[in-house]
Structure 1
Amino acid sequence: MSKAIDTTLAPQYFQKFPVHIHKDEPVVKEGSSAAVKMFERLVPEKDTRSHAVGPYGDAYAICYPEGDTEKTKLAGEIIEALWMYDDIIEALPHDEAALEHATVKQMLAGNKDGKAPGRKTLMTSIFRDARDRMMALDPKGSPWMIGVLRQYLTEYDGNDNTYNDIEEYATFRTLNVGFRIMSGFMQWTTDIYLNEEETQITKDFYMASGRVMALTNDYWSWEMEKRESIDRSAGIRNAIPVLMKQFSLNEKDAKIFAKGLTVDAEEYMWKLGLDLKKTGSETIKKYVDAMILLMGGSGFWSATCPRYNTAQK
């Protein structure tokens, strides 16, 4: 049973999603910590700032508070490794980044011995055993989740476009922000799998949830991204500069605009979720509840974490 976090202790958290933390948070934390240590060993010259550290606990323990402990621990390790891996290859030209993603996709497909197309074999080797470890914990659900991972890697760097329209950008960012990964592991850790009909019924709710995560992440990560400017030649991938350009806004007003878009997206997601809970199957009801906790965990961590809110050394 997870424990509720009092979000009033962090007044900057402006969303209304409930936030819980996993009962075995210290165990879950071992997963993300292992990924950080692995990258520090394999790529010591790179900055391996944690994507999980926060004042209220491990990010994955907050995003997946009702997940199976061992699966949540492994999910945190894999996601943390993906985020740090993306931090490193963000500086690469698009073609080179695509090759690195192809390397990881081969490993997730079970091809450990073939020649990897990417060059950074040490960096990508962290994913070598991910498939086997997932299958050992959940032989039935893991093939689906591995497919989600491989699809994400295909979509993530599918283009190097710039965007001048917030709606076009938000559509792109819903895929690029990693929502497919985060929501997929939410289902994997809780054993919530939708059939084809349920997937179709929840499609609008799924896309609305992705929009919330995309806009929320952009809002809170902007100060870090603006300061570091680490993205590729396409420029910083964030809603705020898109809004500045599209509507000729200064930075402060664009942030307020982005915050309003986030609140509007959340309201729409809540409405769709409530409607599904009135008419949907028991599986759909569990899915909606777990997604709401994921949105709360993701947003609350972003609003409070040192990665986005203070200079982290």
Structure 2
Amino acid sequence: MAPFTSLPVDTTSVSSYFSSFPVRTCEPEALPTIQQALESTISTCTAAGSRERKKANYRHSNPAGNLFGLCLTMCEADRVAYVSQFTEFLCIVDDVLEDLPFGEASIEHAILRQALYQGYDHDDYEGRVVGKMKSFLREIRRELVSQNDAETLLLLQTLDTSLHNRDSSDDEFQTLEDYIPYRKTNFDYEFVCQLLRWAMKIPLHMGPEEEKLARKYEHIIGVIVGLTNDFFSWEMERSETSDRVRNAVPVLMVEHSVHENQAKLMLKKVILNEESRASELRHKIESASGSSEQLKRWISAMELFAAGYSFWCATCPRYNRPQQEESFAERC
């Protein structure tokens, strides 16, 4: 099945969007599919009136564009719902478990992972906070396994690894170089890449040489999206109470002994430098005579994913509305 039709987005009026990447959206055609996927995920994984449900609904209140409409422009139309469900599920997991102390969060992640294994299907223990999410994950696993597709089984294995690793360190990072691998892991980035490949019906593992190039490009895009999230979310995160604030801004403040504003300027420069690296590598891949159309399509999709996510971060109320103007529901 082909992707939904996508259209270019005019970003010139959005001064906060500083990325060099062009943005597209498939929202006009895809929105009903995305909304249905979101409604089922949010209603299943959160309780009515809960802080997590308010945060989930607020996440998708961006008048500038739907998060998934902006990011999934090259995914097959019949798999957009699955990508939306998995991604929203991980966002909710993050919203819930980031408020727990590190040790408790690690235990809850382990309990949640049981939903990926048939052997735990009759285990009624749902942990302290992940019960609804565990039930959701169990049902979507059953649905996908019933399709009897080897690539889908590999995707679920990657998700299991991601849930194991995503909050596995309580270290304080002293340099951006040390922080970036953690940022990608905490972003579930390996799983996100595999999920997008699966949704485009691109093999999860290409031939050796093309896989090497694809991974190199994925790494650069991972740095861009992870640090872009940090850049725009810092104003919200700086006031949160947690035993593990994870953001590149305070890391740069420590590493270079600079004030917050200087650290944000440094972070912006890092992001733009990574975009330049991505563009250079894309040009190299596309101009090489041996590059397959499959690899070129994947590179295009990753750039559009990064562009859409960056645009969403630059415009969403969650990160950009002045705190003094927000209600409790909006802050959540």
Q: TM-score, normalised by structure 2?
A: 0.86
Q: Decide which of 229, 251, 270 is 1:217's aligned counterpart.
A: 229
- Give secondary structure in 2 for the equivalent of 1:126: helix
**Contact 2:253–2:260 (CA under 8 A) maintained in structure 1:** yes
Query: What CA deviation, in whole Å up to 9, does each residue of 1:129-149 have, x standing for no partner?
Result: 121233456834311221221
Are 1:178 and 2:188 an aligned pair?
A: yes
* Percent identity over paired residues: 27
**Contact 2:126–2:134 (CA under 8 A) maintained in structure 1:** no
Q: Decide which of 32, 49, 64 is 2:55's aligned counterpart.
A: 49
- Give secondary structure in 1 for the equivalent of 2:158: helix
The amino acid across from 1:57 in the alignment is G
**Contact 2:44–2:132 (CA under 8 A) maintained in structure 1:** no
The amino acid across from 2:318 in the alignment is R
What are structure 1's unaligned runs of at least 5 residues?
A: none
Q: Offset at 1:118?
A: 3.3
Change (3 A) 1:96 1:259: same
Q: Offset at 1:16?
A: 1.6
Are 1:308 and 2:319 an aligned pair?
A: yes
Alignment RMSD (CA, Å): 2.1
Aligned residues: 310
Q: Decide which of 207, 211, 216 is 1:199's aligned counterpart.
A: 211
**Contact 2:165–2:186 (CA under 8 A) maintained in structure 1:** yes
Q: Where does 1:1-313 land on structure 2 (aligned, <5 Å)?
A: 1-22=5-26, 23-41=29-47, 44=50, 46=52, 48-50=54-56, 51-110=59-118, 111-114=120-123, 116=125, 118-120=127-129, 121-135=131-145, 139-193=149-203, 194-197=205-208, 198-227=210-239, 229-231=240-242, 233-234=243-244, 236-279=245-288, 280-310=291-321, 311=326, 312=330
The amino acid across from 1:186 in the alignment is L
- Give secondary structure in 2 for the equivalent of 1:106: helix
- Give secondary structure in 1 for the equivalent of 2:84: helix
Q: Offset at 1:13?
A: 0.6
Q: TM-score, normalised by structure 1?
A: 0.91
Query: What CA deviation, in whole Å up to 9, does each residue of 1:263-313 have, x standing for no partner?
Result: 111111221122122222221111101111111111111111111111425
Q: Offset at 1:42?
A: 6.5
Q: Offset at 1:93?
A: 2.1
**Contact 2:8–2:23 (CA under 8 A) maintained in structure 1:** yes
**Contact 1:186–1:294 (CA under 8 A) maintained in structure 2:** no
What are structure 2's unaligned runs of at least 5 residues?
A: none
